[in-house]
């Protein structure tokens, strides 16, 4: 690779996407340009989360020799998919790979990008300069607590990115400021993504409850998105009554109430 191209990529990170014909959105450019120590990004579905993570992983690997970049997602398949995006970006940029496997890529400068599944026991043994957790709200608490020590020796950076998934779990707590200090927070609702058309949004609104739509597209951490029971319903049911005080709350009534918005939208 010519020295001019190398300097261009190093100093203009959005090029990692642009050379593949993807003009980064403002938030994607920001994430590629900045090097926040801790970044937490809440996004609409199909905002380009995995794409920008792939770009960031490649740019960091390209810029920092001998760096270790770890990408974690809820499943191995998702992490491998993200690494396949890295591979495509590398090809478009003419960045040579000395190792090219489904779950890891190594550049000529010695930097390596690993794709791991979201299980606490699989993340031990790595010391990354950059850790990326894609679909972070869908990963378990024990994964997060197993991941953080990986950054202890390197002082590495962490990017956690996701669509929201209710007011529960580590992703919500960190976003809500109940955890560590020092997070840079970025919020990207569908309205900031020009690729998502109003026509598509109208169809989506008709196909799901307002609460689910808000979570999938409007960065809303509402409570009952994916559970069988709505947290508000559970709270309203009060302390669980003992059988001899009138029995247990009727779960079927709670379920019927939860389905009502969906049925209203569909009719
Ligand atoms: N800046 C961009 N310009 C054009 N297309 C883009 C851009 N960013 C992402 N895309 C495209 O948008 C689609 C969705 O991207 P991606 O899979 O990264 O989104 P996501 O937010 O991870 O989606 P999901 O919510 O399903 O995980 C892909 O086809 C990708 O190539
Ligand atoms: Mg994705």
3-192 CATH pick, 3.20.20.70, 3.30.565.10, 3.40.50.300, 3.30.70.120: 3.40.50.300
Q: Where in the chain is the domain with CATH 3.40.50.300?
A: 3-192
Q: Residue 105 pLDDT > 90, yes or no?
A: yes
218-264 pLDDT per residue, tens: 999 986 545 545 444 444 555 554 445 454 444 444 444 444 444 44
The pLDDT, as a whole number, for residue 239 is 54
Per the rule left: phi > 0, alpha: psi between -120 and 50, beta: everything else, 239 is: beta
Q: Residue 107 pLDDT > 60, yes or no?
A: yes
pTM of the model: 0.85
What are the CA-CA distances from residue 83 to residues 94, 95, 262 (Å)? 16, 14, 36
Q: Which has more confidence, 125 or 259?
A: 125
Task: Please give the distance, rounded to the nearest whole angstrom, from the Cα atom of residue 23 to the centre of ligand 1.
Answer: 11
DSSP for 84-119, written as a single string = HHHHHHHHHHT--EEEE-SSEEEETTS-EEEEEES-
The pLDDT, as a whole number, for residue 49 is 97
Ligand 1 pocket: which of 21, 42, 46, 81 to mutate (most atoms within 8 A of CB): 46
Name which residue sits closest to atom 8 of ligand 1, judged by CA. 48
Binding pocket residue ranges, ligand 1, CB within 6 Å: 22-25, 28, 43, 45-51, 163, 195
Give the residue among 181, 124, 172 at the shortest CA–CA distance from 147: 124
**What φ, ψ does residue 205 adopt, rounded to 5°?**
-65, -35
pLDDT-derived band at 112, boundaries 50, 70, 90: very high
Distance CA 39, CA 171 (A): 11
Tell me whether residue 140 is exposed, middle or buried, using C-beta atoms within 10 angstroms of its C-beta: 0 to 12, 13 to 18, 19 or more. Answer: middle
Task: Please give the distance, rounded to the nearest whole angstrom, from the Cα atom of residue 195 to the centre of ligand 1.
Answer: 9
Q: Which has more confidence, 62 or 226?
A: 62
Task: Please give the distance, rounded to the nearest whole angstrom, from the Cα atom of residue 245 to the centre of ligand 1.
Answer: 53
Ligand 1 pocket: which of 51, 88, 200 to mutate (most atoms within 8 A of CB): 51
């Amino acid at each position: 690779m010519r020295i001019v191209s190398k300097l261009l990529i190093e100093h203009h990170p959005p090029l990692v996407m642009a050379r593949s014909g993807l003009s980064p959105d403002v938030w994607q450019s920001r994430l590629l340009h900045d090097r926040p120590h801790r970044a937490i990004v809440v996004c609409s579905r199909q905002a380009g989360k995995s794409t920008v993570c792939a770009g960031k992983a490649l740019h960091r690997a390209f810029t920092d020799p001998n760096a270790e970049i770890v990408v974690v997602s809820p499943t191995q398949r998702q992490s491998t998919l993200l690494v396949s995006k890295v591979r495509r970006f590398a090809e478009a940029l003419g960045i040579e790979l000395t190792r090219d496997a489904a779950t890891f890529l190594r550049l000529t400068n010695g930097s390596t990008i690993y794709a791991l599944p979201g299980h606490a026991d699989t993340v031990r043994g790595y010391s990354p300069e950059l850790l990326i957790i894609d679909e972070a709200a869908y990963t378990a608490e024990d994964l997060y607590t197993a991941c953080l020590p990986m950054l202890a020796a390197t002082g590495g950076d962490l990017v956690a990115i996701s669509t929201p998934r209710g007011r529960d779990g580590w992703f919500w707590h960190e976003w809500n400021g109940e955890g560590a200090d020092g997070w840079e927070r970025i919020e990207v609702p569908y309205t900031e993504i020009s690729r998502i058309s109003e026509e598509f949004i109208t169809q989506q609104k008709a196909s799901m409850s307002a609460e689910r739509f808000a979570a999938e597209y409007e960065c809303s951490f509402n409570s009952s998105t994916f559970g069988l029971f709505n947290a508000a319903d559970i709270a309203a049911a009060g302390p669980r009554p003992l059988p001899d005080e009138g029995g247990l709350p009727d779960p079927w009534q709670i379920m019927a109430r939860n389905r009502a918005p969906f049925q209203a939208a569909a009719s």
